């Protein structure tokens, strides 16, 4: 079966058609996966969502270590998936290649930049899919597409073999339709897997919840409150006394400063074409001064300390993954940026603090998925994966039963 025959969602890139069988046995034997087109796969070129990047980079001669680990564990690679240009977007609408379909929210964006991986996993084209998450590019698509998705602790999974964006924020994340599969992948990709600790405290940051649309908050907040069944110490906090928006500019500056240094040589040499929005951001990043970066770094250090204090072992924070359901496709640049601004205030917390965060597809608004997130302190990845399985567990009267509820 050709790629075109099996890809009914526009999730896969069309510049390569690959299938690499995994080992005959292993913890992931029998599962299929796809990888975002930032990863090296031997015999292919990583297009990174931009035709000029594709045209100016050579065929890779080896796989990224994360891909090799999954193959060695028995999973079969079935293709490379669409991404926003150089992963510098949160929408999943690529100017050159279009937007993959979101099967769980028809007519709405899949989210980016791991758009194709999310679309493929949600649509059942593979069992799980690799993405990357710098500022929310696994968490946002997971929420929009109704998937479990993990951004791991920064630096727990080596980043070799893929295009970097902002190295101090880049992570390799992944999507699955069920938490058991998400955890199985984690046991392979997290090299120092350890037994998860018990969760005793769940914090509800009311300032983060204030960023959510009214309908999303109405759906998700009762689910967060029901987590008391797992951790009886559930309490509200104000995460950022000066206002959560005060973290947004430092997040953008740190990210943008690193992006320019990551890609400056190629951009100045090739002078690539970028689509709307992405072009504006790449025009802005060279203007960031070292003094602005130094000031933003001081805020980032404060965020790390604060989040570390708030989230010791045994504590997690529950918050909306993004402000609401996936926006409609084809919106104006102004409308996209308005939603992106609010979304990045939520997703930027974990990126600045370098902590893990998991999306739980527990809510619906107007028939579309909306995700609740759990965030842990550094190294708390296993606890998040275990919590996801407990919350979605088989008990019909458990917290996961609330997933079917909708807000009008």
Q: Is 137 a catalytic residue?
A: yes
C-alpha torsion angle, residues 8, 12, 16, 19 (rounded to 10): -80
Q: Is 332 a catalytic residue?
A: no
List C-alpha distances in Å: 344 to 100, 194, 205, 238, 244: 22, 30, 16, 18, 11
CA gap 324, 142 in Å, rounded: 12
Q: Is 168 a catalytic residue?
A: no
Please, where are the H alpha helices in 152-192? 179-189
Q: What are phi and psi of 32, to 5 degrees?
A: -115, 150
The reply to whether omega before 169 is within 30° of 0 (cis) is no
CA gap 154, 250 in Å, rounded: 18
Q: Phi/psi zone of residue 48: left (φ > 0), alpha (ψ -120 to 50 degrees), beta? A: left
Opening angle at CA 366, ends 363 and 369, nearest 5: 35
* The pair of three-digit structure tokens given for residue 86, joined into one six-digit string: 């150089």
List C-alpha distances in Å: 358 to 74, 215, 403: 24, 21, 16
Catalytic residue among 137, 351, 373, 383: 137
List C-alpha distances in Å: 171 to 138, 228, 256, 372: 9, 30, 16, 20
Beta-carbon contacts of residue 344 (< 8 Å; ≥ 6 apart): 90, 135, 136, 248, 251, 252
* Positions marked active-site: 36, 113, 137
């Amino acid at each position: 079966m050709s790629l075109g025959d099996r890809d009914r969602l526009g999730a896969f890139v069309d510049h390569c058609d690959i299938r690499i069988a995994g080992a005959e046995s292993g913890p992931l034997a029998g599962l299929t996966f796809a990888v975002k087109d930032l990863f090296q796969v031997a015999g292919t070129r990583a297009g990174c969502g931009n035709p000029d990047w594709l045209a100016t980079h050579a065929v890779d001669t080896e796989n990224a270590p994360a891909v090799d680990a999954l193959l060695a564990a028995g999973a079969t690679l079935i293709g490379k998936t669409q991404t926003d240009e150089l992963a510098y977007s949160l929408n999943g609408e690529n100017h050159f290649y279009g937007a993959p379909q979101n099967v769980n929210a028809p007519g709405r964006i899949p989210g980016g930049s791991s758009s194709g991986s999310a679309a493929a996993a949600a649509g059942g084209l593979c069992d799980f899919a690799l993405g990357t998450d710098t500022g929310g590019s696994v968490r946002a698509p997971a929420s929009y597409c109704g998937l479990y998705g993990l951004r791991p602790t920064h630096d727990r999974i080596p980043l070799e073999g893929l295009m970097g964006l902002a190295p101090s924020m880049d992570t390799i994340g992944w999507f699955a339709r069920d938490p058991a599969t998400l955890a199985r992948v984690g046991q392979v990709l997290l090299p120092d897997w350890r037994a998860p600790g018990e969760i005793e405290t769940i914090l509800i940051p009311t300032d983060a919840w204030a960023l959510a649309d009214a309908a999303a908050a109405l759906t998700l907040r009762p689910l967060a409150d029901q987590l008391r069944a797992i951790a009886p110490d559930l309490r509200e906090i104000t995460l950022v006394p000066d206002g959560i928006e005060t973290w947004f500019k430092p997040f953008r500056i740190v990210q943008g400063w690193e992006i320019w240094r990551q890609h400056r040589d190629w951009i100045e040499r090739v002078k690539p074409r970028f689509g709307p929005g992405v072009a504006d951001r790449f025009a802005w990043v060279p203007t960031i001064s070292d003094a602005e970066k130094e000031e933003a770094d001081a805020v980032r250090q404060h965020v790390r300390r604060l989040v570390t204090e708030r989230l010791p072992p045994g504590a997690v924070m529950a918050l909306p993954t993004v402000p609401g359901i996936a926006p409609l496709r084809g919106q104006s640049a102004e409308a996209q940026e308005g939603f992106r601004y609010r979304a990045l205030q939520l997703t930027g917390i974990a990126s600045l603090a370098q902590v893990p965060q998991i999306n739980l597809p527990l809510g619906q608004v107007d028939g579309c998925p909306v995700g609740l997130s759990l965030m842990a302190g550094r190294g708390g990845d296993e606890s998040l994966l275990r919590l996801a399985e407990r919350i979605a567990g088989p008990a019909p009267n458990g917290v996961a039963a609330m997933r079917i509820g909708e807000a009008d």
